[in-house]
Amino acid sequence: MEVRWTEKNIHPSTIVKLISKFLKEKNFDVSVVEGESKFTVIATPKSYEEISEEIKILVKGKPDDFIVDFSSGKHSKNLIFLGSLTSFLGGGFLGLKGLKSKENIEKLERSFWKFLTREISNMA
């Protein structure tokens, strides 16, 4: 999901710090890749039991017009597909793991957007 904020006058690097803090509190290892007028936050779960893939969050733009894009779910979808294909051979656990991962990512994303919206409104 992608959300655009305008007229907030918050530097994207400040948003990246907030995102990093949020993800670290949720038990992720966080790294930030800085590019030309954009940042990519890569969050890797410390335990693959609940979420089985990296989360990537892109922050780009200027202080008064920036976009935050939360992306993930490709690996979980692949596990679900593979699990359904191999279920007759005992691969159903892959599908279950993918479903659990996808569900936990959706919960994380909902809480992420609530957190970020609240923090941005407090700063603006």
Domain residue spans of the chain:
2-123
Question: Domain 2-123 - what CATH class?
Answer: alpha beta
Which of 94 and 18 is assigned the larger pLDDT? 18
Going by C-alpha positions, the residue among 114, 42, 47 that lies closest to residue 72 is: 42
pLDDT digits 0-9 by tens, 109-122? 999 999 999 998 88
pLDDT digits 0-9 by tens, 25-50? 988 999 999 888 899 999 988 876 67
Kindly report the pTM of this predicted structure. Answer: 0.78
pLDDT value at 89 more than 70: no
